[in-house]
Amino acid sequence: MVKSFYEKEVYLSDNFWIMFGKKKQTSTIDKDQLELIENAQKRIKQKKRLYVHFVVFLIGAVFLILANTVLGIGKDFTIAGINWFVYAILIWLFLFIYHFINVFITNKFMGKDWEKQQLNKLVNQQQQRINKLKEEFLKEEKKIAQSQAYNETQSLEKKSANKLTIIVAAGEDNAIGKDNDLIWHLSNDLKRFKKLTSGHHIIMGRKTFESFPKPLPNRTHIVITRQKDYKAPDGVIVVNNIEDAIDAARKDSQPFIIGGGEIYKQSINLADKLELTRVHASFDGADTFFPNVDINIWKEVSRTTHEADEDHNYAFSFITYLKK
């Protein structure tokens, strides 16, 4: 429905252009402007009515005075000794004042503008709350992102803590075995081997595996062989190369490479840590050797030495190396 004169004008002019097939003109009066104009018109009407009221009141008051004094209407009717027309004029004056207050005070302070102001206030308050919530949400999001990044870093650190460790006992000349067997019996070294490797994956060559009477308890064996149909006891993992062996142990934080000579040679460049028991003696007739420990690549981080005693025929040192 078309409301005001201005809207009507815009509506008619739009239709005119539509009817005669010309390009529709865009109105330059926007909604806010229209509202302002309507308000101004309303105010003018209110003030006009007040003015008319004032004039009618003046004429009416004169008429009431004349009616009583000249025409003698209700001449004898008095209240508390005062003529009735005085009360009539006072009541009318009161009504006029009420009208005046309505136009200049109530409408001014509690009219559309006032409503709009209140509405704006409310909208602003809501907007502030929304902004605050947004800020809190962003802060929370940041915290979550930070903790996610922290967790990722932790898991990366955990992954990098996954240390492939070589464990070996070697003489001064790097001898490690003879006739597919060890050359010495050092009980403390065996205890240390058991302590370090228990609960972990142990990766070995087929020959070393066969040098055991049976699989070692509490460890997962991974045996490397080139044989495609190699049969091993239940629970023993058989693979055909070193990469597959390491992959099979990827969930272990510290898988161990336990020998023998061929496997040590092929894996020394892949390992991160070296647990070496250096047996302080040389062994003629050894047929299997550990590669040289290059001190440019390996950094010694700890060493404890044990002298020979009634249980140990040779002195030995437990040395830990980390790859530089």
Ligand X SMILES: NC(=O)c1ccc[n+]([C@@H]2O[C@H](COP(=O)([O-])OP(=O)(O)OC[C@H]3O[C@@H](n4cnc5c(N)ncnc54)[C@H](OP(=O)(O)O)[C@@H]3O)[C@@H](O)[C@H]2O)c1
Least Å distance between CB 194 and ligand X?
Answer: 13
For the chain, the distance separating the N- and C-terminal CA atoms, rounded to the nearest angstrom, is 86
Structure tokens given for 152: 């990722």
Quick check: 167 and 200 in contact, CB under 8 A? no
Quick check: 98 and 54 in contact, CB under 8 A? no
Q: How far, in Å, CA of 197 to CA of 256, rounded?
A: 7
Least Å distance between CB 206 and ligand X?
Answer: 4
Q: Is 248 in the site for ligand X (CB under 6 A)?
A: no
Q: Is 166 in the site for ligand X (CB under 6 A)?
A: no
Least Å distance between CB 137 and ligand X?
Answer: 56
Question: CB neighbours of 113 closer than 8 A, spacing ≥ 6?
Answer: 39
Q: Is 83 in the site for ligand X (CB under 6 A)?
A: no
Q: Where are the beta strands (DSSP E) in 30-185?
A: 78-79, 82-83, 165-171, 175-177
Q: Is 168 in the site for ligand X (CB under 6 A)?
A: yes
Contact code string over 276-315 relative to ligand X, x by CB under 6 A: ------------x---------------------------
Q: How far, in Å, CA of 190 to CA of 214, rounded?
A: 16
Q: Is 227 in the site for ligand X (CB under 6 A)?
A: yes
- Which of the ranges 80-88, 93-101, 176-184, 307-315 carries the binding residues for ligand X, by CB under 6 A? 176-184
Q: Is 244 in the site for ligand X (CB under 6 A)?
A: no
Q: How far, in Å, CA of 249 to CA of 201, rounded?
A: 6
Residue choice 200, 206, 221, 278 for contact with ligand X (CB under 6 A): 206
Q: How far, in Å, CA of 204 to CA of 258, rounded?
A: 6
Taking the least distance from each CB to ligand X, the nearer of 68 and 277 is 277
| Helix H or strand E encompassing 320 | strand 316-323
Taking the least distance from each CB to ligand X, the nearer of 76 and 284 is 284
Residue choice 10, 174, 177, 252 for contact with ligand X (CB under 6 A): 177
- Which of the ranges 15-23, 63-71, 128-136, 179-187 carries the binding residues for ligand X, by CB under 6 A? 179-187
Structure tokens given for 192: 């240390």
Taking the least distance from each CB to ligand X, the nearer of 4 and 180 is 180
Burial environment of residue 271 by CB neighbours within 10 A (0 to 12, 13 to 18, 19 or more): buried
Taking the least distance from each CB to ligand X, the nearer of 64 and 286 is 286
Residue choice 224, 271, 274, 319 for contact with ligand X (CB under 6 A): 224
Q: Is 171 in the site for ligand X (CB under 6 A)?
A: no
Least Å distance between CB 313 and ligand X?
Answer: 15
Residue choice 182, 196, 232, 248 for contact with ligand X (CB under 6 A): 182
Structure tokens given for 25: 């003109």
Q: Is 260 in the site for ligand X (CB under 6 A)?
A: yes
Q: What are phi and psi of 256, to 5 degrees?
A: -115, 140
Nearest to 202 by CA among 251, 240, 267, 249: 249
Interface residues with ligand X (CB under 6 A)?
168-169, 176-177, 180-182, 204-208, 211, 224-227, 240-242, 258-263, 266, 288
